[in-house]
Amino acid sequence: AALRIPLLLVRNELPAPGLNLAARSGSCHQCLYQFLAFVPPSNESLRKPGTASVMVDTQHPLTLLLNSSVGDRDLCKIQYHFGEFGNYSLVVKTLSTSNQTVSCDLIINEGPINSYLPILFAFLVYMGILALLIAGRLLMKIDPVRNWVYKKLNPRATDRMINSELGSPNTTDSINCDPAPQSWSSGSRQRLRSLDTFRGLSLVIMVFVNYGGGKYWFFKHESWNGKLHFPSALFSRFVFIMGTSIALALGSMLRWGSSKWKVLRKIIWRSFVLILLGIVVVNPNYCLGPLSWDNLRIPGVLQRLGFTYLVVATLELLFTRADSGTWEGRFPALQDILPYWPQWIFILVLETIWLCLTFLLPVPDCPRGYLGPGGIGDFGKYPNCTGGAAGYIDRLLLGEKHMYQHPSSGVIYQSTMPYDPEGILGTINSIVMAFLGLQAGKITLFYKDQPKQIMSRFIIWGIVMGVISAILTKCSKEEGFIPINKNLWSISYVTTMSCFAFILLLLIYYLVDVKKWWSGAPFLYPGMNSILVYIGHQVFANYFPFKWKMQDSQSHAEHLTQNLTATTLWVIISYILYRKRIFWKI
Q: Which residues are catalytic?
A: 221
Q: What is the 3-state secondary structure (H, E, C) of 242-302?
A: HHHHHHHHHHHHHHCCCCHHHHHHHHHHHHHHHHHHHHHHHCCCHHHCCCCHHHCCCCCHH
CB 264 within 8 A of CB 314: yes
Dihedral angle over CA of 341, 347, 349, 352, nearest 10: -130
User: Among residues 519, 535, 540, 530, which one has the least CA distance to residue 577?
Assistant: 530
How many whole angstroms separate alpha carbon 228 and alpha carbon 219? Answer: 10
- Count of residues for the chain? 586
Is-contact 82 108, C-beta < 8 A?
no
- H helix and E strand count, the chain: 16, 8
Closest CA to 224 of 393, 387, 79: 387
Of 348, 494, 473, whose CA–CA distance to 429 is shortest?
Answer: 494
Q: How far apart are CA 447 and CA 408, in angstroms?
A: 42
Calculate ∠ Cα 268-274-277, nearest 5°: 135
**Measured distance CA(531)–CA(274) in Å, rounded:** 9
